[in-house]
Amino acid sequence: MTARIAIAGIAAILSACSDNDADPPAPNESPVADAGADATLIEGNAITLDAGGSADADGSIVSFEWRQVSGPTALILDADAAAAIIEPPLVDGAETLTFSVTVTDDDGARDTDMVDLEVNQAPDEEIVEVRTEFDGIERAFSVYTPTDYERGDPAVLLLHGSGGSMREVLLPQRTTSRWLDLADRDGFLLIAPNGFNEANLDGLGDEQSWNDIRDDDTGRTSLEDDVGFLLSVLDAVDAGRDYDPNEVFVTGSSNGGIMAMTLLIETPARFEGAAAFIASLPRETIPDPVAPTPVMLLNGTLDQLILFGGGPVAGDGAPTRSVPATVDYFIDATTPDPSLTATRQLIDAAPGDGCEIFETRYRAPGGGPAVTYYEARGGGHNVPDPTAPPFAPAAEALLGPRCRDANGIDLANDFRRGL
């Protein structure tokens, strides 16, 4: 019995010694991050940064984290994936943007690698689309830089109407594409931001709208902070193109025209002036402008969407005040000298269009422009254009007749140049 106990004790000791002599577990090897090769690209063109070459010799990588380390701010999409998409900003000439990727393995060890992107300015006379982020939402804008543009030249902010987009407003068949020709001729920078589609929660598409000064438009306009977004666009473009901040002109039609009025009322210090087409102010009480700013207005008396006499927009939208009441609002805001007011009829260059355009200029006490109002008598919900193709019957039934005695965009640019 005693012998058996002794043997058992010796066996237990030998077993314990054997356990203590086992090799300890190998230490975790840290992963190795690989952000990929440096690259060169043109602004307006996205690029994918791929950390798929990262490795972990004794386990697996469980997470990726992309960050921008330096350079003008870019938009990073899929920042927690192995492959991240970079939307570069506008740049002045060329800029180097540095990004890092940090990888973490299944034991919590981490490693970081860097990659450089050289972003070059796009050639002149190209429409550059830029994606950005505002209030946590992906948004977009486009910029056209004419060949003769130089730092410190003016800029024009062009706002599309409801149901349009930054692309649609510059299509060759659109009257508003005339701004491209005028930018080439006069050398100003042209900026066309994209509105928001509230139904689709989409800031990138082609059926967009603006959250203008109207309190409510039965869910048909954006609910975003579009004033803040548009000011952020101006800041981003200024960083990349360096326009004259004292010579920024805003213009738009319909919902875009009301948005142009909104900017003039709420943030007049950012704008030299504005031109609003086929637009009117809301019926409800709105604040006076923070400061008086020159404005040009053009409306058709036969507009069936934004009624000349005021009422619901497009039949059931938020009501606007009459066009004469809208003109009076801006006259009161700019306090022109009544003795300098003058009215004339523009040359009836297209007698067969059934439309005549009358111009009334209200001038500031020093003689400078305050309000210029064009009344297209017999015109509908469209911008006058002598060269525009005829509307299809269904479109004309909705938009009404078009005046052809002048090009409304030329009238707006003449107003801008006179400021």
Conformational region of residue 113, where left means phi above 0, alpha means psi within -120 to 50, and beta covers everything else: beta
31-90 tens-digit pLDDT = 999 999 999 999 999 999 999 999 999 999 999 999 999 999 999 999 999 999 999 999
Residue 200 is encoded by which pair of tokens? 């689709």
Residue 13 has pLDDT above 50, yes or no: no
CA 219, CA 256: separation in Å to the nearest integer?
16
Strands 356-363 and 342-345: antiparallel
The reply to whether 31 falls in a domain is no
Whether 101 is in a domain gets the answer yes
> Same domain, yes or no, for 352 and 235?
yes
Shared domain check, 312 and 189:
yes
Cα angle for residues 267, 239, 198 (degrees, 5° grid): 55
Q: Name every residue whose Cβ is closer than 8 Å to that of residue 288 and which is 6 or more positions away in sequence.
A: 265, 332, 333
Q: What is the pLDDT of residues 92-137, one digit of tens each?
A: 999 999 999 999 999 999 999 999 999 999 999 999 999 999 999 9
Q: Are residues 184 and 311 in the same domain?
A: yes
Please indicate, yes or no, if residue 73 is contained in any of the structural domains: yes
Percent of the chain at pLDDT above 70? 94
**Which stretches within 57-190 are classed as H helix?**
178-186
Contacts of 324 (CB under 8 A, 6+ apart): none
- Mean of pLDDT over the chain: 93
Averaged pLDDT for residues 137-144? 98
Task: Please tell me the distance from the alpha carbon of residue 221 to that of residue 262, in angstroms, as a whole number.
Answer: 14
Residue 38 DSSP one-character state: -
Residue that is last in its domain, among 120, 151, 182:
120
**Once rounded to an integer, what is the mean pLDDT over residues 7-21?**
46
Beta bridge partners of 193: 141
Contact between 373 and 327 under an 8 Å Cβ cutoff? The reply is yes
Residues 149 and 56 placed together within one structural domain of the fold: no
Among 414, 380, 406, CA closest to 253 = 380
In a domain, 11, yes or no: no
Query: Does residue 114 share a domain with residue 190?
Result: no
- Same domain? For 364 and 399 the reply is yes
Domain boundary, last residue among 120, 138, 173: 120
N- to C-terminal Cα separation, the chain: 116
Residue 21 clears pLDDT 60, i.e. is over it: no
Q: In angstroms, rounded to a whole number, what is the distance separating the alpha carbons of residues 350 and 310?
A: 28
Q: What average pLDDT does this structure show over 149-164?
A: 97
For residues 105 and 150, state if they share a domain. Answer: no
Give the whole-angstrom CA distance, residue 185 versus residue 258. 27
User: Position 109: which residue type?
Assistant: A
112 shares its domain with 256: no
Taking residues 186-208, what's their average pLDDT?
Answer: 97
Crossing angle of helices 255-266 and 226-241, rounded to 10°: 80
Which of the four pLDDT bands, split at 50, 70 and 90, describes residue 221? confident
Residue 317: the pLDDT is: 85
Q: Confirm whether 271 is domain-assigned.
A: yes
CATH number at residue 72: 2.60.40.10
Which helix (H) or strand (E) is 142 found in, with range? strand 137-144
On whether both 109 and 135 belong to a single domain, the answer is no
Q: Give CA separation, 133 vs 100, 250, 376, in Å.
A: 20, 22, 39
Residue 24 located in a structural domain:
no
Residue 335 lies in a domain: yes
264 in any annotated domain = yes
Give yes or no: residues 94 and 136 share one domain. Answer: no
Strands in 171-328 per DSSP E: 189-193, 248-253, 273-277, 295-300, 311-312, 319-320
Return the percentage of the chain with pLDDT > 90, whole number.
Answer: 89
* Alpha-carbon distance values, 379 to 143, 328, 376, 412 (Å): 31, 21, 5, 17
223-268 per-position pLDDT tens digit? 899 999 999 999 999 999 999 999 999 999 999 999 999 999 999 9
Count: domains in the chain: 2
> Residue 220's pLDDT is what?
66
Domain boundary among the residues 120, 155, 177 is at 120
**Which CATH number covers residue 238?**
3.40.50.1820
Distance CA 376, CA 382 (A): 10
pTM equals: 0.91
Please indicate, yes or no, whether residues 143 and 86 belong to a single structural domain of this protein: no
263 and 356 assigned to the same domain: yes
Q: Can you give the residue range of the structural domain that contains 102?
A: 39-120
